Structure 1
Amino acid sequence: MNENQRPRWAGTRPPRLGEVSTGFQGWIAQGWGTRQVAAPVDQAAARAAAAHRARLSEALPGQTIVLAAGRAPNRNGDADYAFRADSDFVWATSCQTEGAVLLMTPREGGHESVLYIPPPAGPGEKDFYASATHGELWVGPSAGLEAWSAALDLPVRPVAGLTPPAPAENLAPIVSNLRMIKDDWEIAQLREAIDATVGGFAAVAAEIPRASAENLGERWLQGTFDRHARTFGNGPGYATIVGSGPHAPILHWVRCDGPILPGETLLLDMGVEARSLYTADVTRTLPVGGAFTETQRRVHDLVEASHRAGMAQVRPGNHYSDFHYASLEVLAQGLHDWGLLPVSVDEALAPQGQQHRRYIVCGIGHHLGLDVHDCGHSPAEQYVEATMQAGMVMTVEPGLYFHAHDETVPPELRGIGVRIEDDLLITDTAEGHEVLSGALPIDAAGLERWTQEKTQENR
């Protein structure tokens, strides 16, 4: 090879890590058109956030309040998990910007609120091309300070250099308590999430024959719902549970690496998280072939009776534990009638007994909202020891879980898991609640018809 044939890069070295040429810096800063990006918050969401801040201000007079959106945790190497903003921060701002901070400073008559965000990095700034978190070339155009200020009717400033004073003590439980009563906007967000979830159940049911026949398994159905959730919302509100056959009794079977077994039950615990980040949480147990066996139906009927007994206790003024006890009493009686308890029903229901809990070690329900297990920082006296109020949204989710290796139950019950879960809005009506997820049947015959209808639609 002569001198004229040498490649142009011969004799050069690649740029070192972090090294950027002045030529590149100068050229990439030029020639970009201006783009205006609106903040992804509508007026209704902004008004709801302002009302939430007003309630928070009233709860903490004279105290500095600091809420942070947080940052995405590292997944591995230089890859992070997808960012999901802190729920308390979202409740108070309707903003989902990574690294943002809300500072509420006491003043006469309340608080002055200022939102601090990392400004999007545009042309002329190094982070425009160097930041995989805020650089426009990496993440696309984002709303700037002025756009966020206009959308939220708040002062919005750069977060760099912010050194807020010490925040109020015990802030998390106070915000958690305030979040228990949902306003009209929040209820609308939950309705949207639940309606989308019902659609996701239909999408999954339609894929059952293919998942079984082509050996695509539980993961295919999990992926079907997650795709639906991402299309019609922000994504799944929690790890989607798809348990077929002996996996159905495993409470949080998110591994989803088993087959869809003909003739077995299929436990689906799934929820769409709306783009506002409010989530649904719904469970149904479907017969894979469209019809329950006699034994499966017997278990499902008992869980259904427990579910109805629990829901009947969800109303204003009742103790939070009332629906738990009502559901568990039905289950304990049924288990005793089947000869599965070593003691009487009264002995099992006594605090020192609880033998029936072998077959349902989890709770019967919880608050629902921005978190699937909402208001989790509330103290016991405000949560499990409190009374229910209109505006709360609760789940009721009794179940029976007979594990495949549990030798205390007869062979025909082993490997059967059944859970029914609905999302209920507590109301001041005669019924005491509205079943927001009521579009899905809960009785065995209704689920058989529904499953057959949905699986036929995809053939």
Structure 2
Amino acid sequence: MVLATRQNVQKVLKNFNKKEGVIVVKGKELKERDDTDVEVDFRQESSFYYLTGCAEPGFSVVIDVATERIQLIAPPVNPDDVVWMGYPDSLETLQTKYDVDEAIYSTELDARLKAASVVYTIPHFNVTFNEDVKAASEEDNKALYAAICEARIIKSDWEIEVMRKANKISSDAHIKVMEACTTNINEADLYAIFLNESNRHGAFFQSYMPIFGSGMNAATLHYNKNNASIENPTDMILVDAGCEYNYYASDITRTFPVGGKFTEEAATIYSIVLDMQKACIAELKSGAKWEDIHTTALEVAAEGLIKTGILVGEKQELLDKDVVAAFFPHGIGHMIGIDVHDVPKYCTSVERIDRPSYRYLRMRRTLAANNVVTVEPGIYFCEFMIDPVVKDEKTSKYINKEMLNKYKSVGGIRIEDNLVITEDGSYNLTTVPKEINEIEAIMEEASSKKRKLD
């Protein structure tokens, strides 16, 4: 399948306020692990893939700013590589395969760059040019990267469809994990089920290191040991996992009871998190500010924790004192695309909000149509985060220790979906169920089938 990456090039050039010169972007090289002849898993550089659709090692691309002409730069044919890997595509095949104007070998690259009035590249590539090449300034290269970032976060319809496929594969894998969950197994068993389901549908890479945290392991935000025994049926297990399909990411989290039935305490906290997510999703639309969405999550969390009796005091005072951050320390979500934490994180003109409730926001920006974002609120009973608030004489009065102890065993709960922003709202790419009754029904049906087989 030929990807419509020429559209991506045109979007970048529209954002890049230059009239002449060429852009050169290098792809990744195939590398070996340490002092061995074992190859490290190859994953193409994201911006290069965005511009070309080429997932092969050793390639570069040259784009003429004035004419929009695209040249794919291929590594020369190496006889040793042919012995092991077979003969590579011809230049003619590459031209058609990647919808470029021309494919040439890298032996011609220096001459091409020397002929250009100026050569732009992505700053973090640290590309060293021949002294005869007129390299762009650092400022202009930063402007190029900003143009690529702004293009990447506005998804084309075809990109969204690829992400829908990634979400479908991952959603089905999450359901398989729910169905298989029981006591006397290991987190690794569930991890293996998710990987197998992804691989079966052609998603051979995960978007990130998956998280399979049972019991108190779920209170660690990026827990990824994934090797603990699962023994208590009332424990919750947090599964944060998403496959990558055709280089586009998914990022989904579900939390459910090992034994298939929510305890009263788990159901209470889960319902707060679900309310947080629903309130945030209701505010998604073009023109909405991301930190305002996050503030909504904090407000709903405060209301829920006050209602349970864990927090004591007026909602606004708790928010002003950042007490809620002890239970919900991370941001409400992030952009997602070719990278799971897609560009940009923070624009150079936007500062982080330096207070506990907002410190870990992954971005601050106004949403636009065809942004794709995750919405992932959570509540966690992590002693490392909560104890300082409990012990601080300025904030200890806001926490009811008896009620806190009652709910600690819940561990951590997070719910995460992937959503496409529209002019007046959003739509959800994630299909795995998240209502309590839906989760319990899935797990009960699977348990019933197991009992009949036994």
TM-score range, shorter chain: 0.7 to 0.9
Rounded to whole Å, the distance in 1 between the matches of 2:311 and 2:31 is 45
Cα separation, 2, equivalents of 1:87 and 1:419: 28
User: 2:30 touches 2:58 (CA, 8 Å); kept in 1?
Assistant: no
SS in 2 for 1:366: coil
Pick from 23, 48, 69: which aligns with 1:112?
69
Deviation readout 1:94-129 (Å, 9 max, x if unpaired) = 11111211111333xx332211122454xxx23333
Partner residue of 2:199 out of 216, 222, 230: 230
Aligned mates of 2:278, 2:227 — CA distance in 1: 32
Say if 1:120 and 1:144, in contact at 8 Å, map to a contact too: no
Residues in 1 aligned to 2:302 and 2:275: alpha-carbon distance in whole angstroms: 12
Change (3 A) 1:360 1:140: farther
**Is the partner of 1:169 in helix, strand or coil?**
helix
The count of residues paired between Structure 1 and Structure 2 equals 392
Give 1:169 deviation, angstroms: 1.0
Unaligned segments of structure 2, at least 5 residues? 114-118, 122-139, 351-361, 391-400
Q: How does 1:26-425 map to 2 (within 5 A)?
A: 42-43=1-2, 45=3, 48-60=4-16, 61=18, 62-72=20-30, 75-78=33-36, 79-107=38-66, 110-119=67-76, 121=78, 125-129=79-83, 137=84, 139-140=85-86, 142-154=88-100, 155-160=102-107, 162-163=109-110, 164=113, 165-167=119-121, 168-170=140-142, 171-209=144-182, 212-213=183-184, 215=185, 217-232=186-201, 233-261=203-231, 262-274=233-245, 276-341=246-311, 344-350=314-320, 353-376=321-344, 379=347, 384-403=363-382, 408=390, 410-415=404-409, 416-425=411-420
Change (3 A) 1:315 1:377: closer
Q: 2:372 is matched by which residue type in structure 1?
A: V
Q: Is 1:434 the counterpart of 2:381 in the alignment? A: no
Cα separation, 2, equivalents of 1:433 and 1:65: 35
Q: Which amino acid aligns with 2:105?
A: P
Contact 1:208/1:455 (<8 A) preserved? no
User: TM-score scaled to structure 1, two decimals?
Assistant: 0.79
* Secondary structure in structure 2 of the residue aligned to 1:179: helix
**AA aligned opposite 2:11:** R
Instruction: Report the RMSD for the aligned CA atoms in angstroms.
Output: 2.3
Q: Structure 1 residues 294, 54: closer, same or farther in 2, change over 3 A?
A: same
**In the alignment, is the contact (CA less than 8 A) between 1:316 and 1:390 conserved in 2?**
yes
Task: Spell out, residue by residue over 1:364-390, the C-alpha distance to the aligned partner (whole angstroms, 9 max, x if none).
Answer: 111111111111355166894432122
Q: Aligned partners of 1:342 and 1:379: how far apart in 2?
A: 37
Quickly say closer, same or farther: Cα 1:385–1:251, change in 2 above 3 A: closer
- Contact map agreement 2:21 2:120 (CA 8 A) in 1: no
Amino acid at match of 2:377: P
Distance, in Å, in 1 between the alignment partners of 2:438 and 2:378 is: 18
Which structure has the larger Rg over C-alpha atoms? 1
More helix per residue: 2
Offset of residue 335 of structure 1: 2.2
Paired residue secondary structure (1:414): helix
**How far apart are residue 226 of structure 1 and its match?**
1.8
Query: Deviations along 1:403-432, whole A, 9 cap, x unmatched?
Result: 267555533322421000011111235xx1
Q: Would you say the 8 A contact 1:424–1:433 is kept in 2?
A: yes
Distance 2:273 2:55 in 1: 39
Displacement of 1:343 after TM fit? 5.7
CA distance in 2, matches of 1:80, 1:457: 43
Deviations 1:4-28 (A, max 9, x none): xxxxxxxxxxxxxxxxxxxxxxxxx
- Counterpart of 2:5 in structure 1: which amino acid? A
Is the partner of 2:302 in helix, strand or coil?
Answer: helix
Report SS of the residue matched to 1:104: strand
Q: Secondary structure of 2:249's match?
A: coil
Residue 185 (structure 1) shift: 0.5
In 1, the alpha carbon distance for the partners of 2:328 and 2:447 equals 30
**Distance apart, 1:166 and its partner CA:** 4.8
CA contact (8 A) 1:119 1:145 kept: no
- Output one character per residue of 1:249-299: Cα deviation in whole Å (capped at 9) or x when no partner: 11111111111232210101111111x211111111011111011111111
In structure 2, the residue matched to 1:452 is 444
Distance across 1 between alignment mates of 2:48 and 2:448: 44
Residues 206 and 456 in structure 1, CA contact (< 8 A), matched pair in contact too:
no
| Residues 99/455 of structure 1: CA separation in 2 closer, same or farther (3 Å cut) | farther
- Local SS of the residue matching 2:443: helix
SS of match in other structure, 1:116: strand
- Percent identity of equivalent pairs: 28
Query: 3-state SS of the aligned residue for 1:162?
Result: helix
User: Cα 1:418–1:380, aligned 2, differ >3 Å: closer, same or farther?
Assistant: farther
Contact 1:200 1:225 in 2 (8 A): yes
State the one-letter code of the partner of 1:56. V
**How much does 1:200 deviate?**
0.9
How far 1:455 sits from its partner (Å)?
4.6
| Aligned-residue offset at 1:186 | 0.4
One-letter identity of the residue aligned with 1:208: C
Q: TM-score, normalised by structure 2?
A: 0.80
Amino acid of the residue matched to residue 286 of structure 2? P
C-alpha distance in structure 1 between counterparts of 2:416 and 2:426, whole Å: 15
Please give the alpha-carbon distance, in whole angstroms, between the structure 2 residues aligned to 1:313 and 1:270: 25
